[in-house]
Structure 1
Amino acid sequence: MKKLELKFLNEEGKVVTISVDDPIEPADPTLVHAAMDAIIAEGCFYSSGGDLVEKKEARIVERNVYGIEI
């Protein structure tokens, strides 16, 4: 399963991550930047450390889980 992780800094300087399942690939950096700017401008997410105030990074993360027969 792949996720798009959008990482922001809040008012306390702590990292806040918003994850989106099944991102469109390849990711368009221009659209990702625009979406992150809109999230900050609209103030639509709040964290325990205050509003999101700065973009930190964006990345696609893939996680593979394999069961082990016991």
Structure 2
Amino acid sequence: MKKLSMKFVTTNDDITTLTINEVREDITDEEVNSLMEGIITQNVFYSSGGSLVKKKSAKVIDVTEAEVAIA
């Protein structure tokens, strides 16, 4: 499973992170940039640090899960 972690700068110069679980394997940099710009432009999220106003960084994280036997 892959996760997309996006960091934004807020109006108070704080950093806030949005994470999306189970993103497509073939997601592109252009799609991530477009998504982040849309989030900022449409002002769809608000954090304790204020509105999201600037992209800081983004990364795709590959998560491996393994069941643990509980005795």
For the superposition of Structure 1 and Structure 2, which TM-score range results when normalised by the shorter chain? 0.7 to 0.9
Q: Which runs of 4+ in 1 moved over 4 A?
A: 64-70
SS in 2 for 1:19: strand
Percent identity reads 33
Q: Distance in 2 between matches of 1:68 and 1:16?
A: 36
TM-score (norm 1): 0.83
Give the paired residue count.
Answer: 70
Residue 59 of structure 1 aligns with which residue? 59
TM-score (norm 2): 0.82
Gaps of 5+ in 2: none
Residue 36 of structure 2 aligns with which residue? 36
SS in 1 for 2:16: strand
Q: Distance in 2 between matches of 1:63 and 1:30?
A: 22
Q: Over residues 11-47 of structure 1, what are the superposed CA-to-partner deviations in whole Å (9 max), with x where a residue is unaligned?
A: 1111111110111123211111111000000000000
Compare 34-43 and 56-65 and name the one that shifted more.
56-65
Amino acid at match of 1:6: M
Amino acid at match of 1:34: S
Gaps of 5+ in 1: none
Q: Distance in 1 between matches of 2:28 and 2:54?
A: 19
